């Protein structure tokens, strides 16, 4: 299977490159530069893309490749920082003077290029996000586009099949981006015949090679990712998987009950439910900082797992449904230079000491690709269409300290939101819809009496992959209905607000 490798130089958009290529039916994966040589030796690599990044190529400790560009022997596309790296390494010049461009800019084609084939206009919008720029192209390169401000926006050496773009073709703000990427991939010889279902056999082979002996403890939260993982593991290692759901008290309303019924009715393997509500609430008492919440939750999860399997000496592996998007926000998936946005309890929140070998088979897979795997494994569409839910649960949807009273209120508010959206046929039109508990008191009036109670924020977003998201365009009448239902049914709440922030600049979750 032909592969395109994306070298991770730390851009928050790097994962989107992987995503876009997979949407174009080309298999791609991220690698750190130190692993590039080994990956190239696998023999199936047909192209390399150098990602953007937060640093300057002129910095003393700027990331780069541990082998020369000439040694790659496949077509190379440099994006943003990647273009500047090409220029610096091949004899061009990179400058930081008066060239900052952040946001959507107009690109103007300067010369013809195979990359512009099918692009309808010689001028089109692109997303720029850079301070440095290539002020002099390397020998053998010709400029093919400039920004409206005169910054070199694209260059190429067609003979050596080396290409550079100062803009980001992988983001939706560059409408022609998919055509440009497809043109690059076409000249690399890709036939655009890969699909996510092909990963199932690859995952099976990979897991069989990783799991030598001993049993697997599979952490099941009730969400899509961990449940698909449980079904996959049991299909590969029947009788060797212990599925455990830790009821942390941080789950949605009736989630544990629904999970137990799902396993009893549809799967031929059991699940153990562990009541650990007291452990988690005790650990979260007085904790306000969201990063500390995640660390405490990660610590308690491991302690509960270790306690539950103390009599199972054969358990050697802990399997989690961690996704690509979880890892990119916590750190680079391959130990690279990406800036941490937030820890996920099952990534950056895990303690350093683990008595298990960690298995994260979905660590290079997107949410919708997990759903494809779930369909192949026979899970229902109703279940696979569930909205994403954070690993730390409702703890990171409560701003401030987590208490039992706040959890109960938030659970009820979220149930109200889901019911209204389902009744109005909006639930499956959204990527994610949830409530956030705000410990902000405000004055209200109920039954001719003054109230001084808390506030719920409603967050509804549309997205393809959770890397970017836009605000759900709910009608005002529907928003009013949601507000009335929550205020009428949840005691202690007298105000509801609607979050209208996109991602970026905001994240989807608040903490």
| C-alpha span between 251 and 385 (Å, rounded) | 18
Report DSSP state, residue 252: P
**How deeply is 265 buried, as exposed, middle or buried, from its count of CB atoms within 10 A (0-12, 13-18, 19+)?**
exposed
Smallest Cα–Cα separation from 250: which of 212, 282, 205, 292?
Answer: 282
**How deeply is 73 buried, as exposed, middle or buried, from its count of CB atoms within 10 A (0-12, 13-18, 19+)?**
exposed
| C-alpha span between 348 and 508 (Å, rounded) | 18
Q: Are strands 76-79 and 123-130 parallel, antiparallel or unpaired?
A: unpaired
Largest separation between any pair of C-alpha atoms in the chain: 79
Instruction: Name the active-site residue from 105, 156, 170, 369.
Output: 170
Contact call for residues 115 and 153 (beta carbons, < 8 A): no
Could you confirm whether 210 is annotated as catalytic? no
Contact call for residues 273 and 222 (beta carbons, < 8 A): no
The token pair at 181 is 């990427």
Instruction: Name the active-site residue from 80, 243, 245, 460.
Output: 80
Contact call for residues 74 and 45 (beta carbons, < 8 A): yes
| C-alpha span between 17 and 223 (Å, rounded) | 26
Instruction: Name the active-site residue from 130, 133, 168, 334.
Output: 168
| C-alpha span between 162 and 77 (Å, rounded) | 6
Contact call for residues 465 and 475 (beta carbons, < 8 A): no
Cα→Cα distances 505→75, 341, 345, 508, Å: 33, 11, 22, 10
Return the half-sphere exposure (C-beta side, CA atoms, 13 A cut-off) of residue 228: 32
Residue 171, SS3? coil
The token pair at 310 is 């103390």
Contact call for residues 131 and 123 (beta carbons, < 8 A): no
| C-alpha span between 406 and 410 (Å, rounded) | 6
Report cis status (omega within 30 of 0) of the bond before 505. Answer: yes
The token pair at 167 is 């803009």
Q: Which residue bears the tokens 């639930």? A: 427
Could you confirm whether 266 is annotated as catalytic? no
Could you confirm whether 404 is annotated as catalytic? no
CB atoms within 10 A of CB 455: 18
What are the residue numbers of the active site? Answer: 80, 168, 170
């Amino acid at each position: 299977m032909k592969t395109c490798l994306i070298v991770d130089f730390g851009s928050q958009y790097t994962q989107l490159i992987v995503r876009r290529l997979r949407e174009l039916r080309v298999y791609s994966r991220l690698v750190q530069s130190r692993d590039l040589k080994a990956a190239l030796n696998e023999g199936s690599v047909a192209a390399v893309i150098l990602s953007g990044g937060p640093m300057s190529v002129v910095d003393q400790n700027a990331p780069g490749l541990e082998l020369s560009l000439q040694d790659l022997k496949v077509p190379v596309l440099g994006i943003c920082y990647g273009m500047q790296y090409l220029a610096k390494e091949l004899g061009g010049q990179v400058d930081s003077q008066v060239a900052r461009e952040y946001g959507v800019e107009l690109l103007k084609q300067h010369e013809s290029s195979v990359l512009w084939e099918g692009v309808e206009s010689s001028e089109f919008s692109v997303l720029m996000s850079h301070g440095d720029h290539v002020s002099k192209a390397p020998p053998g390169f010709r400029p093919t586009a400039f920004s409206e401000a005169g910054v070199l926006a694209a260059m190429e050496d067609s003979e050596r099949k080396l290409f550079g773009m100062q803009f980001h073709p992988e983001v939706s703000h560059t409408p022609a981006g998919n055509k440009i990427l497809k043109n690059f991939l076409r000249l690399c010889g890709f036939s655009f015949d890969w699909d996510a279902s092909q990963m199932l056999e690859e995952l099976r082979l990979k897991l069989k090679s990783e799991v030598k002996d001993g049993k697997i403890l599979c952490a099941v939260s009730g969400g899509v990712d961990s449940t698909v993982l449980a079904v996959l593991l049991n299909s590969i290692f029947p009788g060797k998987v212990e599925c455990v759901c830790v009821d942390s008290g941080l789950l949605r309303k009736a989630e544990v009950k629904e999970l137990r019924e799902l396993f009893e009715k549809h799967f031929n393997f059991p699940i153990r439910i562990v009541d650990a509500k007291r452990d988690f609430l005790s650990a979260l008492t007085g904790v306000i900082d969201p990063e500390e919440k995640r660390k405490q939750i990660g610590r308690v999860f491991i302690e509960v797992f270790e306690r539950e399997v103390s009599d199972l000496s054969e358990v050697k592996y802990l399997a989690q449904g961690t996704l690509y998007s979880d890892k990119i926000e916590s750190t680079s998936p391959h130990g690279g230079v990406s800036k941490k946005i937030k820890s996920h309890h099952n990534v950056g929140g895990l303690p350093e000491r683990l008595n298990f070998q960690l298995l994260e088979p979905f660590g290079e897979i997107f949410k919708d690709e997990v759903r494809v795997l779930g369909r192949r494994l026979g899970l229902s569409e109703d279940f696979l269409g569930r909205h994403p839910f954070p690993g730390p649960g409702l703890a990171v949807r409560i701003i401030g300290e987590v208490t039992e009273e706040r959890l109960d209120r938030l659970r009820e508010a979220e149930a109200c939101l889901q019911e209204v959206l389902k009744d109005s046929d909006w639930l499956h039109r959204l990527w994610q819809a949830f409530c956030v508990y705000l410990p902000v008191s405000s004055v209200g009036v109920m039954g001719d009496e003054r109230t001084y109670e808390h506030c719920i924020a409603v967050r509804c977003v549309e997205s393809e992959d959770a890397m970017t998201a836009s605000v759900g365009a709910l009608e005002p009448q529907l928003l009013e209905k949601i507000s009335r239902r929550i205020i009428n049914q949840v005691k202690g709440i007298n105000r509801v607000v609607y979050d209208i922030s996109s991602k970026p600049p905001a994240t989807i979750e608040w903490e």
